[in-house]
Amino acid sequence: MNVERLSKRLSAVANFIPEGAKLADIGSDHAYLPCHVVKAGKVPFAIAGEVVEGPFQSARKQVEMEGLTKQIDVRKGNGLEVIDAGEVECITIAGMGGALIASILEEGKEKLEGVKRLVLQPNISAISIRLWLLENGWSLINEAILEEDGKIYEILVAEKGDPKSAYLENIENQLLFGPFLSIEKNKAFIHKWTAERKNWERILNQMSQSNQTAEKIDKKMEIQKKISMVKEVLGE
């Protein structure tokens, strides 16, 4: 892959990295993102962290091939254990589940000292990240949602600050849909939540045809509530 031409998803992540910030990209895979922003002159130094041996070796090869070994340090380790507190100002974590990203941040809390910005791209369950940010003193300052190759991705950008500042009204709805995304309601947002609603309606239909237990009734009520929330946010 030509790191000068990132995927749409990683390009969107790169756009939120502050100019001149020292970067740590956790779960860096082939190190495409750090290579791109260093080559573009956007960041002076980056750490590419990877826990799995294969991707770690791929990242090392990519950095060597790009001639960036003095500016990008490829490190093997789990989550934020690859960085020292105060070593970087921006952390990116892209291409994982939201619950996993939240657990990486939780387990590496002490490494977030000096970090000014988090740029997080969950593949699923962005709500897990929004909840973690809300509970840990990080303010959601921006969001993006986009579609690429038939998949929909959300990007969450946070800085230290009042965690409630982004949530002006119905916090339960905004945690699920995203306070910024639910205002913009772009094409990808509408596509994602229309598909989610149809999926939940299909599950409800299947549940209605099976024996009803107290647990199933509670589950049905939970799904019905989510369907109502989707209809409300989409103005249906």
pLDDT, tens digit, for every residue of 29-39?
Answer: 999 999 999 99
- Is the pLDDT at 111 greater than 90, yes or no? yes
Ranges of each domain in the chain: 8-167, 188-233
Average pLDDT over residues 159-171: 93
Lowest-confidence range among 136-145, 149-158, 207-216? 207-216
- Is the pLDDT at 3 greater than 60, yes or no? no
Distance of CA 57 to the CA centre of its chain: 24
At 117, which helix (H) or strand (E)?
strand 117-122
DSSP annotation of 236 reads: -
What's residue 118's pLDDT? 98
- Give the Cα separation of 3 and 226 in Å (integer): 40
CB atoms within 10 A of CB 214: 7
- Give the Cα separation of 154 and 189 in Å (integer): 9
Tell me phi and psi for residue 75, to 5 degrees. -125, 140
Average pLDDT over residues 151-176: 95
pLDDT in tens, 65-77: 999 999 999 999 9
Instruction: Kindly report the average pLDDT of the chain as a whole number.
Output: 95
User: What's 8-167's CATH class?
Assistant: alpha beta
Average pLDDT over residues 99-123: 97
- Give the Cα separation of 35 and 15 in Å (integer): 14
pLDDT in tens, 199-230: 999 999 888 887 778 888 888 999 999 999 99
What's residue 215's pLDDT? 84
- Give the Cα separation of 36 and 41 in Å (integer): 9
